[in-house]
Structure 1
Amino acid sequence: MTIAKLSELGITHLPDHTELPDSDGTFVKNFQEHPQSILLTDSVQGILQQIHSDNQYCIGQDCGIYWRLTEPPERGAEAPDWFYVPNVAPMLNGQFRRSYVLWQEYVAPLIVLEFASGDGSQERDNTPITGKFWVYEQAIRVPFYGIYEFSKAAIEVYHLVDGRYQQLTANERGHYEISLMGVELGIWQGQYGNTKAPWLRWWDAQGNLLLTGEEKLQLLAPQLEQEQEKSQLLTSQLEQEQQKNQRLEERLRQLGINPDEV
């Protein structure tokens, strides 16, 4: 994190997430970004809850990470399309974060993902201070950085080693191992929501696709249906037995026999 001289900026204290802009006024690049972020978040929650039994983690989606003080303030931030920060409280003082402020938090994101609608040149920009690649590598020092190009349905993943990013090689499944999370990242071709397309997704360390809540329900649907049918059959059998017992009791009463004394 870099902080310019406060006197030069006319700042008398370090602003927190409630005092900094939560948007730079730019549009989302395409309609896939929003569902793509939700897909990543929904499917990885189970893994993160295993890692963080105390629920101390947060996920940002198109939220600013402030790493230096500038004027205007938003020039000192990068807004990844998706990122995960371990070992931090999900809220601050009972409030949802409006942005992630490094001089307030201190813990850097473990992984940052950018969804490139263009040729990825902005996401690979290594220009000191202003380039995204440089900021994630040299300033914020994010351990894993992924660049997903929608047009190519391709993902590049970089790992910070000795202060520099090294591009990872895909494993035999075509996935990239995010070792500190115990997961793999790759491209999945299929339907999510109402759209069939290539999607950026997670797998576990054994190569099993991490499912969303809805996908889990769909997978369990046949089993649940069988259990429901079994329950209905048992209920029907119980009702038949009750009716049979009622007829028997009525017959005994007709014969002058109290069924309660039999």
Structure 2
Amino acid sequence: MSSYVNNCLDIYGLLVNPFDPNSLQGWHLDANQQYQLLTPNEQGQLWCQRLQLWLGTWEGEIEGKPAIWLRLFDSEGNLILLPEEAAEQARQQEVQARQQAEQAQRDAIPRLLAMGLTIEQVAEALGLSVDEINRNVR
């Protein structure tokens, strides 16, 4: 994240109190080499023209350290995830997808049996063992 913030900082001046999430202030160097105060959006974020991203404060935990952090947000105001956060989100989505697939299999068992398939046929169709089918029938 720091390289993104540094790219934004080379034409901006920022001031933030790390204990106050509403304290972010910023200035932009204009064409006349004069700093102009940036107007924050409703969330208190400042627009970084060079990155086409918002810079704002975010209260949370990074690397086990709870604090108020400077973070980047997309043009709609959504938090840009750090690589570790994106990996964790992907892992959670994978777990959720696997659980949904397993639930769909369990939900299909009584429907397939009601259609007249044998337990063995249902097991083969769903790629499960006969024991797994029997456990879900009870």
Unpaired runs of 5+ residues, structure 2, are 106-122, 131-138
- CA offset at residue 207 of structure 1? 0.7
Is 2:60 aligned against 1:182? Answer: no
Distance in 2 (CA, whole Å) between partners of 1:205 and 1:196 is 26
Look at both structures and tell me which one has the larger radius of gyration over its CA atoms. Answer: 1
Query: SS state of the match for residue 83, structure 1?
Result: helix
1:226 aligned onto 2:96? yes
**Aligned AA (2:126):** Q
Listed one character per residue, the Cα deviations across residues 235-259 of structure 1 (whole Å, up to 9, x for unaligned) are: 9932548xxxxxxxxxxxxxxxxxx
Report the counterpart of residue 257 of structure 1 in structure 2. Answer: none
The change in CA–CA distance for 1:235 and 1:179 in structure 2 (over 3 A counts) is: farther
5 Å-filtered alignment, 1:99-138, equals 111-112=8-9
TM-score, structure 2 normalization:
0.63
What is aligned with 2:86? 216
Matched, 1:83 2:6: yes
Given the superposition, is the C-alpha separation of residues 222 and 150 from structure 1 closer, same or farther in structure 2, using an over 3 Å criterion? closer
Q: Which residue of 2 aligns with 1:148?
A: 16
Question: How far 1:155 sits from its partner (Å)?
Answer: 2.1
Q: 1:151: how far off?
A: 4.3
- 2:119 is aligned to none
Where does the alignment leave 5 or more consecutive residues of structure 1 unmatched?
Answer: 1-39, 42-58, 61-81, 85-110, 113-141, 242-262
Give the aligned partner of residue 12 of structure 1: none
What is the identity, as a one-letter code, of the residue corresponding to 1:177? W
Q: What's the counterpart of residue 159 of structure 1?
A: 28
Are 1:238 and 2:107 an aligned pair? no
Q: Work out the CA distance in 2 between the residues paired with 1:222 and 1:206.
A: 24
**Count of residues in correspondence between the two structures:** 108
1:85-130, Cα deviation, whole Å (9 max, x unpaired): xxxxxxxxxxxxxxxxxxxxxxxxxx32xxxxxxxxxxxxxxxxxx
Post-superposition Cα deviations, 1:158-203, rounded to whole Å, max 9, x if no partner, equal 1011211111111122110112211001111112221222111111
Aligned residues: percent identity? 24
Partner deviation per Cα, 1:194-225 (whole Å, 9 max, x = no partner): 12221111111111111112222333334211
Evaluate the alpha carbon distance shift between residue 236 and residue 214 of structure 1 in structure 2; reply closer, same or farther with a 3 A threshold: farther
Which structure dedicates a bigger proportion of its chain to helix? 2
Please list the CA deviations of residues 125-173 of structure 1 after superposition, one character each: whole Å capped at 9, or x if unmatched: xxxxxxxxxxxxxxxxx42222233244422211011211111111122
Q: Secondary structure at the match of 2:27?
A: strand
Measure, in 2, the Cα distance between the counterparts of 1:212 and 1:165: 30
Q: Distance in 1 between matches of 2:124 and 2:84?
A: 29
- Quote the Cα distance in structure 2 between the aligned partners of 1:167 and 1:235: 68
Cα distance in 1 for partners of 2:19, 2:98 equals 45
How far, CA to CA, are the matches of 2:87 and 2:13 in structure 1? 32
